[in-house]
């Protein structure tokens, strides 16, 4: 199955595009994040693993936890927390 | 002062300006976001403000915090905010609270407020503020910054949005705080505050605005 991943407010290189990831059936949000790490490595992007793995995730605009399932055609939004003021 | 608010109009009606003059806003945090927020709200004519911060200015604040001046290093931020407001608009009733927000003092600090603005700089305090706002049935205008990025949302009392935005193990790496980022974020927070105070619909209720100033992408996400 395929899911579309969108990265929000991560310090990624300009032009880093949303990504369509191929995942096995039965995958959960945690699997998407693992696949994202592989994707970042393929694109030679360095990122703190914890920064990605502790980010806020929404699947089709609904808050989601690491164990929540994803399905073919889902859009997974990954939002980096920020707390500065 | 005659004519003080004439340039608010017609963007705001005379009636809306009068309404603002009757409102009491609590700004929690008088640093990067808070400095700009307090300035904007004083100039537009909010009737009363409680400004809360237990911190003092240090040299690292000079790059971005509007209220921070070289001569004010070591001064309590909330006191500097009150002094600034008095110079800008003596019609604003200003109360400076020179202590940090806690679960213990929160209810008292927000007493008689119509709206609360989150200008804090850490997750724990933001969670406390959201909890107190829920208890007091107050709307909260949240803003946060990091590097070239900012986020703003309007939190309905008890909606739990901040708990979702900040998962328990959230890691927030230091991305720096250049001067332009708090100015953008605070301006949008103030815009939403004015809408709410005037009884207009908030554009960011149940929506999260994410801003990337590197690319100037503004994205609204439904919550």
Q: Where are the domains of chain B?
A: 6-222
- Mark yes or no for CB contact B151/A84 under 8 Å: no
Indicate whether A63 pLDDT > 80. Answer: yes
Distance in Å, alpha carbon of A52 to nearest chain B alpha carbon: 9
C-alpha A57/C-alpha A30 separation (Å) is 10
pLDDT of residue B162: 93
**CB–CB of B182 and A85 under 8 A?**
yes
Query: Which residues from chain A sit within 8 angstroms of residue B210, using beta carbons?
Result: 8-9, 79
Q: Are strands B217-222 and A75-79 parallel, antiparallel or unpaired?
A: unpaired
Nearest to B33 by CA among B197, B163, B193: B193
Rounded-to-integer distance, Cα A1 and Cα A34, Å:
16
Angle CA B115–B156–B109, to nearest 5 = 35
pTM here is 0.94
C-alpha span between B190 and B51 (Å, rounded): 14
What are B70-110's pLDDT values in tens digits? 999 999 999 999 999 999 999 999 999 999 999 999 999 99
Least confident of B24-38, B159-173, B191-205: B159-173
What domains lie within chain A, and their CATH numbers?
2-79 (3.10.20.30)
Average pLDDT over residues A5-34: 90
DSSP helix/strand/coil, A56 = strand
**Burial zone of B11 (CB within 10 Å; 0-12 exposed, 13-18 middle, 19+ buried):** exposed
Query: From the CA of A48, how many Å to the nearest CA of chain B?
Result: 9
Cβ–Cβ below 8 Å for A85 and B31:
yes
Within 8 A by CB and 6+ apart from B71, the residues are: none
Residues of A in contact with B182 (CB under 8 A): 85
Task: Give how far B7 is from chain A: nearest CA, Å.
Answer: 29
For residue A16, what pLDDT is reported? 78
Residues of chain B neighbouring A85 (CB-CB closer than 8 A): 29, 31-34, 118-122, 143-145, 182
The mean per-residue pLDDT over the stretch B12-35 comes to: 97
Q: Does B35 touch chain A (CB under 8 A)?
A: no
Please choose, from the candidates A32, A33, A37, A57, the residue with its C-alpha nearest in 3D space to the C-alpha of residue A47: A37
Taking the C-alpha atoms of residue B31 and residue B77, their distance in angstroms, rounded to an integer, is: 7
CA B11 vs CA A15, A76, B6, B8, B53: distances in Å: 37, 39, 10, 6, 32
Taking the Cβ of residue B60 and every Cβ of chain A, the question of whether any pair is shorter than 8 Å is answered with: no
Task: List pLDDT tens digits, range B212-222.
Answer: 999 899 999 99
pLDDT band at B48 (very low <50, low <70, confident <90, very high): very high
Whether residue B69 contacts residue B88, with contact meaning beta carbons closer than 8 Å, is answered with no
Side by side, the strands of the sheet bearing A62-64 are: A19-22, A2-8, A75-79, A56-59, A62-64
Domain range B6-222, its CATH number among 3.40.1190.20, 3.40.50.720, 3.30.70.360, 3.30.930.10: 3.40.50.720
CB pair distance less than 8 Å for A85 and B208: no
CB A32 within 8 A of CB A77: no
pLDDT given at position A44:
87
Distance from CA of A85 to the nearest CA of B (A): 4
Query: Do A79 and B165 make contact, defined as CB atoms within 8 angstroms?
Result: yes
Predicted complex ipTM: 0.89
Sequence-separated (6 or more) residues with CB below 8 Å from residue B72? B57, B80
Chain B residues close to A81, C-beta within 8 Å: 123, 165-167, 170-172
Q: Does A63 contact B146 at a Cβ distance shorter than 8 Å?
A: no
pLDDT tops 80 at residue B27:
yes
Cross-chain residue pair A83–B144, CB shorter than 8 Å: yes
What's the confidence (pLDDT) of residue B173?
80
Give, in order, the Cα–Cα distances in Å from B77 to each of A2, A84, B84. 51, 16, 10
């Amino acid at each position: 199955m395929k899911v579309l991943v969108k990265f929000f407010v991560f310090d990624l290189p300009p032009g880093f595009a949303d990504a369509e990831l191929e995942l096995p059936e039965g995958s959960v949000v945690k699997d998407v994040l693992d696949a994202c790490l592989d994707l970042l490595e393929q694109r030679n992007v360095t990122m703190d693993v914890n920064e990605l793995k502790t980010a806020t995730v929404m699947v089709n605009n609904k808050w989601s936890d690491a164990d929540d399932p994803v399905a073919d055609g889902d859009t997974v939004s990954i939002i980096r927390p920020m707390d500065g003021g | 002062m005659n004519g003080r608010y004439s340039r608010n109009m017609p963007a705001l009606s005379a009636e809306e300006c009068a309404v603002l003059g009757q409102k009491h806003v609590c700004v929690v945090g008088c640093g990067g976001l808070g400095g700009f927020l307090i300035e904007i709200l004083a100039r537009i004519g909010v009737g009363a403000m409680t400004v809360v911060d237990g911190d003092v200015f240090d040299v690292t604040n000079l790059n971005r915090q509007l209220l921070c001046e070289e001569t004010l290093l070591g001064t309590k931020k909330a006191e500097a905010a009150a002094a600034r407001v008095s110079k800008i608009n003596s019609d604003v009733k200003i109360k400076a609270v020179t202590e940090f927000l806690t679960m213990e003092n929160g209810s008292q600090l927000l007493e008689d407020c119509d709206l609360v603005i989150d200008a804090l700089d850490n997750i724990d305090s933001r969670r406390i503020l959201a909890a107190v706002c829920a208890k007091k049935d107050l709307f909260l205008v949240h803003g946060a910054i990091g590097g070239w990025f900012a986020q703003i949302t309007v939190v309905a009392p008890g909606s739990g949005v901040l708990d979702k935005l900040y998962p328990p193990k959230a890691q927030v790496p230091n991305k720096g705080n250049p001067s332009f980022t708090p100015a953008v974020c605070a301006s949008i927070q103030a815009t939403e505050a004015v809408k709410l105070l005037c009884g207009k619909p908030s554009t960011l209720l149940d929506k999260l605005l994410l801003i990337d100033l590197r690319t100037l992408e503004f994205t609204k996400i439904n919550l």
